[in-house]
A and B are shown apart, each in its own frame.
Chain A
Amino acid sequence: MNRLDELMAELFPDEAPLPPETPFREYETWDSLKHVHLVVGIESRFALDLSADEIAGLGSKHAVEELLRAKGAV
């Protein structure tokens, strides 16, 4: 399991993973607190300092993967 999958499993321990393109808000347990944990989790696990624009674009796992690739973090 890669670092992003580990983070997803921590955020949604009781839900089956949705397809990567599915917006995070489609997860039943998604809320504003999980949004905070997602962003902080990405920054800490991948040693990144994300800009507001980058954070605003993190609407799905696919979007996160694209950003990580663009920043050379994976």
Chain B
Amino acid sequence: MSNQTRTALVTGCNGDVGRFLAGHLLESGWRVLGLDRADREPPPGVIFERCDLRDAAATSGAVERLATAHGAPDLVVNGAGIIANAPLVTIAATGGWQAHDAALWEDVIGSGLTSAFHVIAASVPRMLTARKRGVIVNISSVCAAGNPGQVAYSAAKAGLNGLTYALAKELGPLGIRVVGLAPGYLDTASTRDHVTAARLAKVVAGVPLRRLGSLEDLTRALDFIVADGYVNGTIIELDGGLVL
């Protein structure tokens, strides 16, 4: 796919991963549209609209405005999501059992899974109307296999994988590919905020390549997915061989 005048829509573009991916696409000549609910400044050069992607109507409106003004996307990167370190049950300070916070569950699923559904549902009609072939890349995680202590995050990513498989079959005949990209532990500020140094050291020891993934690893994989016209309906695990 030539990227001359091509348009990419990146969600979660204010976070570590989304920001890097958006910057990479800009450097590669794409027009980049960005959506995020976070208060952080969007990456320079991104045509940005702040939006709570958990809200179907708000997301539909934002995608409509961006696509009308700047063109339907050729590439959609669903990078929005939040990590939550929370087991199903914990022990409260008073010594009793404490169940996973329901609002946190809703937020993690809404931010990481429902948001992708809303963005795709809003984008695909525009892509079809514009007679565009394209690709949707869902940023998943190896945690989809089930990471203890991250029950909501694991469920959100597993759901994202299911969304990827189903939509690849639905949209493939229409000329739109859907692919998942599932990093292991990436060397980002977010990772270091959520994983202790001791845990990270153990993770690195368990990676056959003996290092965390880099954001450059991620962009190389994204470039491959975009460039290759036949990869579809699969989850590319980018984890150095790590098995959780």
The chain A residue with its CB closest to the CB of B93 is A56
Instruction: Determine the chain B residues whose CB is within 8 A of the CB of A36 once the complex forms.
Output: 87, 89-91
In the complex, are the beta carbons of B149 and A33 less than 8 A apart? yes
Instruction: Determine the chain B residues whose CB is within 8 A of the CB of A57 once the complex forms.
Output: 95
Q: CA A32 – CA B98 in complex, angstroms?
A: 11
B90's partner among A15, A28, A29, A32 (CB-CB below 8 A) is: A32
Instruction: Determine the chain A residues whose CB is within 8 A of the CB of B198 once the complex forms.
Output: 15, 28-29
Quick check: is B40 within 8 A (CB to CB) of the other chain?
A: no
Interface majority SS (helix, strand, loop, mixed), chain A? helix
- How many A-B contacts if CB must be within 8 Å? 44
Quick check: is B129 within 8 A (CB to CB) of the other chain?
A: no
Given A14-B202, A31-B85 in contact, is the A39-B91 Cβ separation under 8 Å? yes
A residues 54-74 in Cβ contact with B at 8 Å? 54-57
Q: How far is the CB of A16 from chain B (nearest CB, A)?
A: 12
Instruction: Determine the chain B residues whose CB is within 8 A of the CB of A55 once the complex forms.
Output: 91, 95-96
Count residues of A near B (Cβ-Cβ below 8 Å): 18
In the complex, are the beta carbons of B95 and A28 less than 8 A apart? no
B residues 77-119 in Cβ contact with A at 8 Å? 85-87, 89-91, 93-96
Quick check: is A52 within 8 A (CB to CB) of the other chain?
A: yes
In the complex, are the beta carbons of B196 and A29 less than 8 A apart? yes
Q: CA A41 – CA B41 in complex, angstroms?
A: 47
The chain A residue with its CB closest to the CB of B198 is A28
Q: How far is the CB of B128 from chain A (nearest CB, A)?
A: 45
In the complex, are the beta carbons of A33 and B87 less than 8 A apart? yes
A residues 5-28 in Cβ contact with B at 8 Å? 14-15, 28
In the complex, are the beta carbons of B196 and A35 less than 8 A apart? no
Q: What are 13 residue pairs bridging A and B, where the CB atoms are less than 8 Å apart in the complex?
A: A15-B198, A28-B196, A28-B197, A28-B199, A29-B202, A31-B149, A31-B196, A33-B87, A33-B148, A35-B90, A52-B95, A56-B94, A57-B95
Residues of B within 8 A of A (CB): 85-87, 89-91, 93-96, 148-149, 196-199, 202
The 3 closest A-B pairs by CB, nearest first: A56-B95, A28-B198, A52-B95
